[in-house]
């Protein structure tokens, strides 16, 4: 445990050792994770939308089929990937293959949450860790 780093992230937080440990371990910090193409395919299959995409001659559908075969995942920490994915989904909406709810659901596959302690690379923080970090100068 890096207690100096722990003390730094504890700055400004109030509570008992147990309360601070619990606060630091709650997974409430949002971040973007990569979206696996297999998860996108699963959604499209379960909702029956994959058939409409594969049967369509719309350019957005044709590009989607190629993209689903070419990539393993979409890196959501790269703004250009996010922009491209949103544009692709908008193309499928304009082609009446997907709707805005589908777009929201598919983009949410990249949403995740981590704890403050995980974000700082500390892992699980226990009350004893908080107590020790508080004692540091």
Say if residue 99 is in the same domain as residue 42: yes
Structural domain boundaries enclosing 130: 3-31+114-134
Q: Name the pTM for this structure.
A: 0.71
Say if residue 43 is in the same domain as residue 99: yes
Q: pLDDT (tens digit, 9 = 90+) per residue, 74-117? A: 999 899 999 999 999 999 999 999 999 999 999 999 999 999 99
For the chain, what is the domain count? Answer: 2
Q: CA separation (Å) from 123 to 77, 95, 116, 126, 129?
A: 22, 45, 9, 10, 11
Say if residue 92 is in the same domain as residue 68: yes
């Amino acid at each position: 445990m890096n207690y100096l780093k722990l003390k730094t992230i504890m700055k400004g937080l109030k509570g008992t050792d147990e309360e601070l440990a619990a606060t630091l371990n709650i997974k409430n910090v949002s971040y973007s994770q990569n979206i696996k193409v297999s998860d996108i395919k699963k959604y499209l299959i379960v909702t029956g939308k994959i058939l409409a995409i594969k049967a369509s001659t719309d350019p957005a559908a044709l590009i989607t089929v190629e993209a689903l075969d070419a990539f393993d995942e979409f890196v959501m920490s790269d703004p250009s990937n996010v922009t491209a994915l949103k544009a692709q989904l908008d193309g499928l909406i304009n082609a009446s293959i997907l709707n805005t709810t589908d777009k929201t659901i598919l983009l949410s596959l990249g949403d995740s949450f981590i704890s403050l302690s995980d974000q700082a690379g500390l892992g699980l923080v226990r009350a004893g860790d908080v107590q020790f970090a508080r004692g540091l100068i």
